[in-house]
Amino acid sequence: MRISLNLSDYEPVNYLWADLLESLGIDKSNKAVRQALDLQYMTGTKETLPVLFIETCGVALITFSLLKNQTGLSFCGENHVLIFSHRKKSFQVLQELK
C-alpha cells in the first residue's frame, strides 16, 4: 500500500526517541527500530530510508531524495531510521550504531 507523506509540514526534533523509550521501554523501542531496519534490509534500496511511526510502531520506506526535497535535510548511508509522529507533527532521524 502506498501513502502520501509530506514531511515539509513536520518539524525535525531531537526528543522523539526519548518519548518512544518512555512510552514503550528500551526493549520494545529497540525492537521497533530493528523491525524498521529489517524492512530496509529486506525490501529497501540504497536510496530508501525506513520510517517508524511512533504512535503505531508501523514501518514504511521513503527515499532520501523525498526527505531532502521536503525538509532540506541531506544525508545517505546505512542504519538510519526516521521516527515520525503525526500527533506531534515532528520527526527525528536516528543512526543506529553498531
pLDDT digit string, tens, across residues 65-75: 888 889 888 87
Q: What is the pTM of this model?
A: 0.89
**How many residues does the structure list for the chain?**
98
Q: Which residues does residue 52 pair with via DSSP β-bridges, in sequence order?
A: 59, 83
H helix or E strand, kind and range, residue 90: strand 90-95
| Angle at which helices 26-43 and 16-24 cross, to 10° | 120
- How far is the first Cα of the chain from the last one, in angstroms, to the nearest whole number? 31
pLDDT digits (tens, 9 = 90+) for 7-31: 888 999 999 999 999 999 999 999 9
